[in-house]
Amino acid sequence: MMNSAAIYPPLNAPTAQANMFGTVPGYEGLVPGGGGFLPPPMPAEPVAPPQPGAVPADWSIPSLSEDVACDAFKSFASSHCCYSKAPANDGVITKMEPFNTYRYRLETFSESRSTDWATKPHEGELADFYTQTAPRPWEIQATAPKLFSDHKEVIRVPYTSSIKDCHSCHATGTMPCQECQGNGSKPCWVCNGSGTNNNDSCHRCNGSGQDKCTQCHGKGTKDCETCKGRRQLLAYIQLTVQWTNHVTDHVVEQNSGLKVDDLRSVSGKELFKNNQYQLYPLLGFPNPAISEASERLIQEHLAQFAQSSRILQQRQTVELIPITKVNYKWKGDSHVYYVYGNENKVSADDYPATCCCVIQ
């Protein structure tokens, strides 16, 4: 017969929580608070080198017609309550200049694993500690989400569970009520604990000066928050599997005058996309800044994520973000606005006819 003391050791010292966890083979050195992310094992077979993706020949820039530019400007003016529609309706376009603006995006989809000791109220689960050898963190099966999407899964490591007395309440299942400091009652709020009100016995507390505590219903104790009144805890090693899609963008500088931050909210024409386990830098792009960004970011992602996580897939995308600088005249003065992105968003910092709305 198993010694019950071995399953339910006494926990009387202040360090009871730290001492309640045993040593599990393969998890030596794990302390409450966790041991950080665990490096993935080396692949059993050599990984095939990345292969260069096909490079399309069509790097064309879509042109914007005057009608589309005018319609976008009118919608922009209509969306601002303080803007007069006159410049958008009556302005005359004098020049339209298209600009090549490329956005390179690198995504690295990785899986990382970390372990920590955890507890939960014991609800009848069997203790499987030492019944078999616990699997190592990277040996445990976990179902990955679809590629390039963030997800987290928390798994109880098999054969690491044991039953312990609750360290918070010393296995009593209760804790003193914080509201009444364990007294079961509080000073009456009508007579402030004096028992009298206007020289008469307080009708609220019948002259006792005390009110029953509504938090603990007069018991002076409440169920322990740690064990939920069950007196015992299931202690085990918890594995956290985190899938993360790391995304880095590089926008090629353009000389149109439009702020780069404005481009974050729009999409462009997708010129190129490929994904592999590990990417080969994009070569042969007409703009050398894209090739340089591709090579630099791929190296940075490998250095940043390959040591502490397992890279499952990488994806690189090149978009052409259309930008048209529109010069126009209104009331004899020259002005500029920009139409950009597939959404035909408009930026017009110097819109010439604004007013201040005052709410009465």
Looking at every residue in the chain, the average pLDDT score rounds to 86
pLDDT, residue 359, reads 43
pLDDT, residue 350, reads 86
The per-residue DSSP string of 149-197 comes to --EEEEEEPTT--EEEE-TTTTTSSEEE-TTTTTSSEEE-TTTTTSSEE
Q: What is the rounded CA–CA span in Å between residue 347 and residue 68?
A: 15
pLDDT, residue 11, reads 40
- Return the closest-CA partner of residue 222 out of 179, 170, 164: 179
Cα-only R_g, the chain: 34
Percent of the chain, pLDDT > 90? 62
Q: What is the rounded CA–CA span in Å between residue 110 and residue 213?
A: 52
**Residue tagged 């007395």 (tokens):** 165
Length, in residues, of the chain: 360
Cα dihedral: 168, 171, 174, 178 (round 10): -20
Mean pLDDT lowest among 141-155, 182-196, 229-243: 182-196
pLDDT, residue 14, reads 40
- Across 89-117, average pLDDT: 93
Q: What is the pLDDT of residues 129-179, one digit of tens each?
A: 988 999 999 999 999 999 999 999 999 999 999 999 999 999 999 999 999
Q: Ranked by mean pLDDT, which of 48-52, 191-195, 340-344 comes out on top?
A: 340-344
> At residue 7, does pLDDT exceed 60?
no
pLDDT, residue 26, reads 79
- Return the closest-CA partner of residue 274 out of 103, 56, 101: 56
**26 φ/ψ angles, rounded to the nearest 5 degrees:** 95, -15
- Across 232-254, average pLDDT: 94
Joined together, the tokens standing for residue 321 give: 């973000």
> At residue 59, does pLDDT exceed 80?
no
pLDDT, residue 259, reads 86
pLDDT, residue 53, reads 56
- Across 329-343, average pLDDT: 95
- Across 44-62, average pLDDT: 58
